[in-house]
Amino acid sequence: MEKKTLGFAMCGSFCTFKKAIETARSLAGEFELVPIMSEISAGTDTRFGRAADFRAQLEEICSREVISTIAQAEPIGPKKLLDALLILPCTGNTLAKLANGVADSSVTLAAKAHLRNERPVVLAVSTNDGLGANAASIGKLLARKHVFFVPFRQDDACGKPCSLVADFSLAGEAVRSALGGVQLQPVLA
């Protein structure tokens, strides 16, 4: 059986990058991975690590170069390069852009280009404003055809009551479910 091609896109929730890399590693055996990083995540060093190191790890796992520009992401739609696209982590900024049709980064353009083929986009949220400013975006995307979520929860209900994070360990199951046109349940863990 031929492996499905999965776009693995990372946005700038830098505190989750180590888990994101682990998730990519766990998915590499099942899917042919196409690595995508937002311009910010591909080029910003933070206290959580160097951008070049994360990029190199992702390229090693996927055995191909990271897509990190709008020009590189544009062919995803016309050439139908992906069976599914997983955005992990998906920041509040990216959620808002996707909910409102903004395609101004490599990741948001990859999603727009991929959705035009009516194929699944799976979002693994990681935002401090999920139950605040980003709640409307999540609501809009939950109702959108071909958009699915990795189940998510509050990660620190007392210390950060608006913060949401996906359960990255469910990413593969969420993608498989989305490929069948079904949202993995429960969405809110």
Reply yes or no on whether the pLDDT at 10 is more than 70. Answer: yes
DSSP the chain: -PPPEEEEEE-S-GGGHHHHHHHHHHHTTTSEEEEEE-HHHHH--BTTB-HHHHHHHHHHHHTSPPB-SHHHHGGGTTTT--SEEEEEEE-HHHHHHHHTT---SHHHHHHHHHHTTT--EEEEEEETTTTTTTHHHHHHHHTSTTEEE--EEES-TTTSTT-EEE-GGGHHHHHHHHHTT---S-SB-
- Quick: pLDDT tens for 109-141: 999 999 999 999 999 999 999 999 999 999 999
Q: Give pTM, 2 decimals.
A: 0.96
Quote the mean pLDDT of the chain: 95
